[in-house]
Amino acid sequence: MARIIALLHASLLVSDLKRARAFYEGALGLTPSPARPAMGFPGVWYDIGPAQLHLLVLPNPDPVTGRPAHGGRDRHVALGVVGWEGLRQALDRSGIDYTLSRSGRRALFVRDPDGNALELIDAD
């Protein structure tokens, strides 16, 4: 029987690549991967450990308004963060809203400019 052994990438839809990159690269500090081939539509990939996060500029079939205020109650991608407190302070300085995990863990939920929810978990 086959076994799933790893999450290789997660893809998120974005409407404005420049605005999305400002968030992912500016606020979160990710670096674009050179591995993304020409695909016939704009986007960017980020290497995160052995996996990747793909941003795709394609029509979004999901509503971006009316999502739960707390990203933990919505579909989301969880990312481990070294220097979590520093990232939290950077989000505060940038005026980017987030909610803390309701589990008591050092984790927060933030939405990108297109409403995609990310869970940022302290990995120190």
> Which residue from 47, 44, 56 is spatially nearest to 11, judged by alpha carbons?
56
Task: Collect contacts of 52-55 with beta carbons under 8 A, ≥24 apart.
Answer: 52/8, 52/9, 52/10, 53/9, 53/10, 53/11, 53/12, 53/24, 53/77, 53/79, 54/9, 54/10, 54/11, 54/12, 55/11, 55/12, 55/14, 55/17, 55/20, 55/21, 55/24
Q: Does the pLDDT at position 108 exceed 90?
A: yes
pTM assigned to the model: 0.92
User: Could you say which of 3.30.565.10, 3.10.180.10, 3.40.50.300, 3.40.50.620 is the CATH number of the domain covering 9-59+66-122?
Assistant: 3.10.180.10
Q: What is the pLDDT of residue 124?
A: 87
Q: Could you give the percent of the chain with pLDDT greater than 90? A: 85
- What was the pLDDT predicted at 119? 96
> What are 52-107's pLDDT values in tens digits?
999 999 998 888 888 999 999 999 999 999 999 999 999 999 999 999 999 989 99
**For the chain, what are the domain ranges?**
9-59+66-122
Strands, E, within 18-122: which ranges? Answer: 43-48, 51-57, 76-81, 98-100, 107-111, 117-122
Give the model's pLDDT for residue 2. Answer: 87
Type of residue numbered 57: V
